Structure 1
Amino acid sequence: MYQEHFGLQAAPFSLTPNTGLYYGLPPHEEAMQVLRIALAGGEGFIKVTGEVGTGKTLLLRKMMAELAASHQVIYLPNPYLAADELRMALAHELGLTPEHGDLAVTDAIHRRLVELHRDGRPAVLLLDEAQALPDASLEAIRLFGNLETESSKLLQVVLFGQPELDGRLRSDDLRQLRQRITFSYRLRPLLRDETRAYLEYRLSASGYRGVPVFSAAAVRRLWRASRGIPRLINILAHKSLMLAYGQGERRVGTALVNAAIKDTEDASTTIPLHWWLMWAVLAGISLWLLRGAL
């Protein structure tokens, strides 16, 4: 639609997570570094949380691609599984067809994990939307995380979830799992300069050449309305470019962004100051912890 108008070879702001357009923004790179350190150290459970639209699935896919050559990566796209369904799904992802029954399935998985460990391909389970897993399924995952040799875990687990996952893990019923999560990271929204860099990178990676499409005022308006959430940034940027194309404009100003905001239900016109201060503090703490781990 507007791609030819702006000289683009691809859609820059698609909502589908695309690792080809991954840009190493500070919160995402910090999360990736935490994951690399934890997995290299053989930690059993790692957790990454963040609000809807902050890029958890993109990170998961980036990690899948990075681990593919050295690990047996297991990805379960449907998190809402009962405990026995989860065991069978894990078995199938490992290429197994065990007889039904908790003991038979668990035993088959255990043997396969031992084989993978012996072959030098440690297994990593990546779970998206982990906050949707029933308690019994989270407990089943914890028990699989207990499988180990004398020196290392046979299955490492990375939980990606919304902040509700943190709330659930504070429950006494899940305290054993909570205590086994040795590394965690909470994704924050993007800051204004990060939003500007994100917009410019996405356009450049999609083929745009020229002066910045979004004016400084437009970036500021878009950032505030999106609350720094990448998914909302994508939606507002996409709509703004559509409107610019419709009006024959080569640059996007605040008027076009305002029109895009009015057409987007979750876009906000005001952001309480304390909200951004909270995220700034969290970002500082996360960076301090990361530096300590390094």
Structure 2
Amino acid sequence: MYESYYGFTERPFQLSPDPRFFFASKHHQRALSYLQYGLDQKEGFIVITGPIGTGKTTIARNLMSNLPEANIVAAQLVTTKLNPEELLELVIAEFRIDYQGNSKAEMLKAIEQFLVALHEQGKRALLLVDEAQNLPSETVEELRMLSNFQLDNQPLIQSFLLGQEELKGIIQAPNMEQFRQRIIASAHLRPLTVEEVENYIKHRLQLAGCDKEELFSEQTYALIHEKTQGVPRKINIFADRILLFGFLEELPSIDIDAINAVAEEMGAELTGSLSLEQSEAAPQTSKEQLIVNSSENVENIKDVLREIEDILETSIKQKVKMARYVDKLLKQKNRQLAEASVATNIDETKPD
């Protein structure tokens, strides 16, 4: 929507991970280097952890897009709470292994035959497990058992695990000692610094075709860092919304006032919150249940209704702005069509 207004060839802050937009902060470059090191070693586990939205999946996509296809066959799993048998079924499905059995032993046999066939072709398998914090410890242990498939003293499959910070607790459990001994490197992603936020935004703007030197004023980057805590996913959400706001308000560049206005809007909405913490109220006991005829609770209800009214009012204002924009586009299109029609009629009336 705002792309043509600001001269972009595409949206610079899309939410879906795109390896083309990979930004190598110090921590992200280290994590990617560890993954590459693991590939070179051809054995062991690499574990990458980090908070929600710090770019683990983007790193995975970046690695997958640059794999040497000649000798590595890769599969990426995005896990839920799989038991060991379900994990094996997913491995079979992602590697497209021909399997007709109905038992765990037969699944393991089919996987082994597939891996041996790859080895005979001079290839090996790489399993990249995203959202690995969802796996129970016994399923992580199943991954270790898969790494026992070897031929000519070479592992036939290698696994990389990427997950949120809870993955650390799973791996550090007392019963996971054997798995820990197979980890050859691990890295933890952290949010971006103020300087990295500035470089991140400029990097994405440049890749999206932005030819304006100072679309965001220098003072805005520290404020964006403050509002997003330096988390890349939140930066993407916030910056995308800022550009939409700038377009609707017809701003030639983004300043502090625009940042604050968007932050206030997003804070009042039901979605798009910039808050990193989502607190959950503890369940009420029977003595804490809402008493409808209490004057204090009536006032609380009124406050809630006022907040809902403010949210709806903000939403309506946004829709009005959007309607005005669509109306402007339609008028512009009609004007272009009329001019084109006049030009055509003039050409037709010219003598040959």
Q: TM-score range by the shorter chain?
A: 0.7 to 0.9
* CA–CA distance in structure 1, aligned partners of residues 25 and 119 of structure 2: 34
Amino acid at match of 2:86: E
Equivalent in the alignment of 2:288: none
Q: Which residue of 1 aligns with 2:8?
A: 8
Superposed counterparts of 1:28-177, under 5 Å:
28-67=28-67, 69=69, 70-94=71-95, 95-177=97-179
The 5 A counterparts of 1:183-262 are 183-262=185-264
* Offset of residue 120 of structure 1: 1.6
- Structure 2 match to 1:289: none
Distance 1:57 1:119 in 2: 30
Contact residue 44 and residue 180 of structure 1 kept, 8 A:
yes
**Matches of 1:157 and 1:98, distance apart in 2:** 25
Report the AA paired with residue 111 of structure 1.
Answer: Q
Residues 200 and 212 in structure 1, CA contact (< 8 A), matched pair in contact too: no
Letter in 2 for 1:165: L
Q: Which amino acid aligns with 1:17?
A: P
1:23 counterpart SS class: coil
CA distance in 2 between counterparts of 1:256 and 1:98 reads 60
Distance 1:35 1:149 in 2: 23
| Cα separation, 2, equivalents of 1:142 and 1:186 | 21
Give the % identical residues.
31
Q: TM-score, normalised by structure 2?
A: 0.73
Partner amino acid, structure 2, of 1:25: S
SS in 2 for 1:36: helix
Distance in 1 (alpha carbons) for counterparts of 2:215 and 2:122: 48
The CA distance in 2 between the partners of 1:266 and 1:96, in whole Å, is 46
Contact 1:13 1:235 in 2 (8 A): yes
Task: Could you tell me which runs of 5 or more consecutive residues in structure 2 were left unpaired when the two chains were aligned.
Answer: 267-271, 277-352
In structure 2, distance between residues paired with 1:68 and 1:102:
31
Distance in 2, Cα, partners of 1:267 & 1:222: 13
Paired residues of 2:79 and 2:134 also in contact (CA < 8 A): no
Q: How far apart are 1:148 and its partner, in Å?
A: 1.6
- Once the two structures are superposed, what CA deviation does each residue of 1:4-31 show, in whole Å capped at 9, x if it has no partner? 1101110100100011222333322221
Shift of residue 137, structure 1, vs aligned partner: 1.3
| 8 Å CA contact 1:91, 1:97 repeated in 2 | yes
- In 1, distance between residues paired with 2:131 and 2:10? 28
Contact 1:91–1:98 (Cα < 8 Å) also in 2: no
- Report the residue type matching 1:72 in the other structure: V
Q: Is the Cα contact below 8 Å between 1:46 and 1:157 reproduced in 2?
A: yes
Deviation at 1:259, TM superposition (A): 2.3
Structure 1, unmatched stretches of 5+, are: 269-294
How far does the alpha carbon of each residue in 1:176-231 deviate from its partner, in whole angstroms, 9 at most, with x for none? 21221111111111111111111111111111102221112111100122111100
RMSD of aligned C-alpha atoms?
A: 1.7
Distance 2:17 2:35 in 1: 19
Residue 68 of structure 1, CA deviation? 5.2
Deviations along 1:57-83, one digit per CA (max 9) or x if unpaired, are 111111111125131101123333221
- Structure 1 position 255, deviation (Å): 1.5
- Give how far 1:110 is off: 1.0
Is this contact kept in 2: 1:232–1:267, CA < 8 A? no
Rounded Cα–Cα distance in structure 1 between residues aligned with 2:170 and 2:129: 16
- Opposite residue 173 of structure 1, the aligned amino acid is N
Mapped partners of 2:226, 2:205: distance in 1: 20
TM-score, structure 1 as length reference = 0.87
Q: 2:274 aligns with which of 262, 266, 282?
A: 266
How many residue pairs get matched?
A: 269
